[in-house]
Chains A and B, each alone.
Chain A
Amino acid sequence: MLTVEDMHVDLGDFAMSGSFEVPSGARLAVMGPSGAGKSTLLNVVAGFQDAQGRLLWSGREIGSLPPAERPVSMVFQDNNLFPHLTAFQNVGLGLSPKLKLSKVDRARVMDALARVGLDGLESRKPAALSGGQQSRVALARMLLRDKPLLLLDEPFAALGPAMRVEMLGLVKDLVTETGATLLMVTHDPDDAALIADQCILVAEGRVEPPVDMQTFLADPPKAMRAYLGT
């Protein structure tokens, strides 16, 4: 269970605050108008953005931990892979930052790659992989890190609609298998409906507590209406 207490971020001409709880195993979409601070919220949870307030995971304070030590795994909008390393090495980094992999580790890497459908592509560098394949490598790494909380920041925005649906399906499967909690930023309500059962609204400097997805989409709050066009 993720607890955010009295969070307040002040970035000069932009401020954001809120408190909410996310139950374990929940799948949440983070939505809101452009520039509202959706990515900022994820950055706060992941540890890339300083903020006031308390951040707790299962009752334990994680607010002062560096990003790698938090129970969080994050996939960014871009630059998820190191272009000079192979797919295998990129995934391997998820197990050991020094890339010192035992035989068991290597087998695990190959398994993860197979799970996301990249069998046989492990020695390719990102430039030799398509956009969808690159996303899969990132997901394979996420799988290996096996952290309880997954943060996705519009990771499939650059992919075509069919590919996006496929990737979201993959994410849903992985999350179900591992029982992880998911927070995903998306600007597309259809994508949100596909994968999430609850929704957090970030708008006008406030982070609202999670709301059931269907309720949200059936009767969106005023701040979202203009954005959604309803």
Chain B
Amino acid sequence: MALRAGTVSVWAGAVSAALVLALTLGTLGAVVWRAEGFGGLGPRDWGYVRFTVWQALASAAISVALAIPVARALARRQFWGRSALITVLGAPFILPTIVAILGLLAVFGRTGIVSEVLNWAGLEPVSIYGIHGILLAHVFFNLPFATRLVLQGWLSIPSERFRLAASLGFSASDVSRVLERPMLRDVVPGVFLVIFLICTTSFAVALALGGGPRATTVELAIYQAFRFDFDLSKAALLGLVQVMICVVAGALVFKVRLPSTSGVGLDRVARRWEAQGLGLRIQDSVCIALAALFLLGPLSMIVIEGIGGLFSLPISVLEAAWNSVWVTVVSTVLCMALALSMALAVSRLSAGAGALVEGIGFLTIATSPLVMGTGLFVMIFPFADPTALSLPVTAVVNAAMALPFALRALVPAVRDLQAGYGKLSASLGLSGFAWLRWVAVPRLRRPLGFGAGLAAALSMGDLGVIALFSNPEVETLPLALFRLMGAYRLDQAASAALVLVALSLMAFWVCDRGGRVNVDG
């Protein structure tokens, strides 16, 4: 007497997982095969590894530590523009690196606003170049994302508990101890892990702001090995090291529940009777204001610098934007298909097998895009013309890169769906496409929307694996931006950057909002 497992969803998930494996470990293997083995790593290279891990740990720690008070403030307060601010919290994460760097410099650089203010106040200007610059940039990218994740944790505490706390006369510190800290213990390690992994593959930021060769990450070493030394074996080994960092970090926090990014209920504000005092209000307001300034400062600089030349952009940039939109649509659909099939499989499989599938989905965070591109080139070249495949390959790679975030949004939601409505669906014989259409997709609209939004925004701004696959006929917007900069046309580049940021944010907002509108129960 058995409950037949949903074998179709398991198979679909397995196929998706296999595709992801091919794109990550498979491409690494292709590079190793081409290189005829792994090279060796010198003491300098190990120094790079140590630095990479160290700065990722520090960036993650600072991001999370700062995210907590900001998230607490956002959870407790209702104010005009709160919803917009929460949406904008998604922005820095999806900015193309080069745009973000120039924006940060416009605020924190030598001739940036902060320095001007300090000068005017008669104080010494602060240099952004150095290890602290790298940390600043990483925090800029990741603090908003971390805040959003931690905020979700806060909103998952049932409002009934706060009512109970109020009726028992809890003060703010009692609430913190009894209600909030257990939640944080649950949520924070997962957030830390995600941010840590993101920071390990940092490249341009570390170099531009790090001020010197001490700030060399594994990714830069891979870049050098590929493009300058053409030492494939060394690049492969470094790529493997990067993956190992991901695996080890993941294993260390294996027991930890990873944070859900479904975006559920972010608009709710629970009434908090213990937090009405003036002191706490001021504290929260300051946190929110500082966070908003920190985020919006560089973003506004990007807008200011770019808006002037917006209407004199050449047609080719608009064409590139159109190409980017197309690639993004394809890549987003593919990403969500992969994520949904894998999430469904995870919910049907046993805990161990499910964790394995989820783990595979995470591999792409730690995979070097260079390794992936080269491996794909090696795999494709004997059979087809890589140039002709450049857009499809870009779409596929972008989909894989965004997959971990989409998965993080879907897996907990699918689990909840099965727990809530699994038996009902089974008893009605609702399965396969009918189930997807009538139950899964409607009930999963919020996490699907959020995941699609992230995937779309990340894909829009990504150069992808252009280096080996670029097609001169068809260029994407990030590539057009890059070419403008290379041709000395920096004003136009600033405008193109603004278009890119606007498109990315719009893509995110459209998908996210579409997932949140009129959702029932």
Q: Please tell me whether chains A and B touch each other in their complex, using a CB distance cut-off of 8 A.
A: yes
A-side residues, CB < 8 A to B, are 44, 46-51, 53, 55, 63-64, 66-69, 72-74, 76, 79-80, 82-85, 93-94, 97-99, 125-127
Complex CA distance for A106 and B421, rounded to whole angstroms:
24
Chain A nearest Cβ from B441, distance in angstroms:
10
Contact for B3 among A67, A93, A125, A127, CB less than 8 A: A67
Contact for B435 among A44, A76, A97, CB less than 8 A: A97
Interface size class of chain B, counting residues whose CB lies under 8 Å from the partner chain: 20 to 34
Complex CA distance for A70 and B99, rounded to whole angstroms:
60
Q: Contacts A68-B427, A97-B428, A97-B430; is A84 near B520 (CB within 8 Å)? A: yes
Most buried by B among A47, A49, A126: A47
- Asked if residues B434 and A48 are in contact (CB atoms below 8 Å), the reply is no
Chain B nearest Cβ from A52, distance in angstroms:
8
- Asked if residues A125 and B520 are in contact (CB atoms below 8 Å), the reply is yes
Complex CA distance for A82 and B435, rounded to whole angstroms:
12
- Asked if residues A50 and B1 are in contact (CB atoms below 8 Å), the reply is yes
Known: A48-B426, A68-B427, A84-B520. 13 other contacts (CB 8 A): A48-B3, A50-B2, A55-B1, A63-B2, A66-B4, A67-B429, A79-B420, A82-B421, A83-B520, A93-B430, A94-B428, A99-B434, A126-B521
A72 cross-chain contacts in B, Cβ below 8 A: 427
A93's nearest neighbour on chain B, judged by CB, is: B428
Determine if B442 is an interface residue (Cβ-Cβ < 8 Å).
Answer: yes
Contact sample, A vs B, 16 pairs, CB 8 Å cutoff:
A46-B427, A47-B1, A47-B3, A49-B3, A50-B1, A66-B4, A66-B426, A76-B424, A79-B424, A82-B424, A82-B438, A83-B521, A84-B442, A84-B521, A93-B430, A127-B521
Q: Which 4 A-B pairs have CB atoms at the shortest separation, nearest pair first?
A: A68-B429, A83-B521, A63-B1, A98-B434
Chain A nearest Cβ from B224, distance in angstroms:
53
Determine if B423 is an interface residue (Cβ-Cβ < 8 Å).
Answer: yes
- Asked if residues A97 and B426 are in contact (CB atoms below 8 Å), the reply is no
B87 cross-chain contacts in A, Cβ below 8 A: none
Question: Which B490-521 residues have C-beta < 8 A from chain A?
Answer: 519-521
Chain A nearest Cβ from B429, distance in angstroms:
3
Complex CA distance for A84 and B2, rounded to whole angstroms:
30
- Asked if residues B520 and A127 are in contact (CB atoms below 8 Å), the reply is yes
B443 cross-chain contacts in A, Cβ below 8 A: 82, 84
Most buried by B among A50, A55, A67, A80: A67
Complex CA distance for A48 and B421, rounded to whole angstroms:
12
- Asked if residues A69 and B438 are in contact (CB atoms below 8 Å), the reply is no
A69's nearest neighbour on chain B, judged by CB, is: B429
- Asked if residues B521 and A48 are in contact (CB atoms below 8 Å), the reply is no
Contact for B427 among A50, A73, A127, CB less than 8 A: A73
Complex CA distance for A12 and B443, rounded to whole angstroms:
33
B-side residues, CB < 8 A to A, are 1-4, 420-421, 423-424, 426-431, 434-435, 437-439, 442-443, 519-521
Complex CA distance for A64 and B1, rounded to whole angstroms:
4
Chain B nearest Cβ from A141, distance in angstroms:
8
B424 cross-chain contacts in A, Cβ below 8 A: 76, 79-80, 82
- Asked if residues A51 and B428 are in contact (CB atoms below 8 Å), the reply is no
A76 cross-chain contacts in B, Cβ below 8 A: 423-424
Chain A nearest Cβ from B146, distance in angstroms:
32
Q: Contacts A55-B1, A79-B424; is A97 near B520 (CB within 8 Å)? A: no
B520 cross-chain contacts in A, Cβ below 8 A: 83-84, 125, 127
B518's nearest neighbour on chain A, judged by CB, is: A84
A55 cross-chain contacts in B, Cβ below 8 A: 1
A45's nearest neighbour on chain B, judged by CB, is: B1
Most buried by B among A46, A63, A126: A46
Complex CA distance for A200 and B426, rounded to whole angstroms:
26
Most buried by B among A51, A53, A83: A83
- Asked if residues A79 and B421 are in contact (CB atoms below 8 Å), the reply is yes
Chain B nearest Cβ from A2, distance in angstroms:
13
Contact for B434 among A47, A79, A97, CB less than 8 A: A97
Complex CA distance for A84 and B442, rounded to whole angstroms:
7
- Asked if residues A85 and B3 are in contact (CB atoms below 8 Å), the reply is no
B428 cross-chain contacts in A, Cβ below 8 A: 68, 93-94, 97
- Asked if residues B438 and A99 are in contact (CB atoms below 8 Å), the reply is yes
Complex CA distance for A68 and B427, rounded to whole angstroms:
5
Contact for B1 among A53, A74, A98, CB less than 8 A: A53
B420 cross-chain contacts in A, Cβ below 8 A: 79
Complex CA distance for A67 and B4, rounded to whole angstroms:
9
Complex CA distance for A85 and B423, rounded to whole angstroms:
17
A125 cross-chain contacts in B, Cβ below 8 A: 520
Chain A nearest Cβ from B3, distance in angstroms:
6
Complex CA distance for A84 and B4, rounded to whole angstroms:
26
Complex CA distance for A175 and B424, rounded to whole angstroms:
21
Chain A nearest Cβ from B420, distance in angstroms:
5
B427 cross-chain contacts in A, Cβ below 8 A: 46, 67-68, 72-74
Complex CA distance for A95 and B389, rounded to whole angstroms:
47
Complex CA distance for A99 and B431, rounded to whole angstroms:
12
Chain A nearest Cβ from B134, distance in angstroms:
46
Complex CA distance for A201 and B4, rounded to whole angstroms:
29
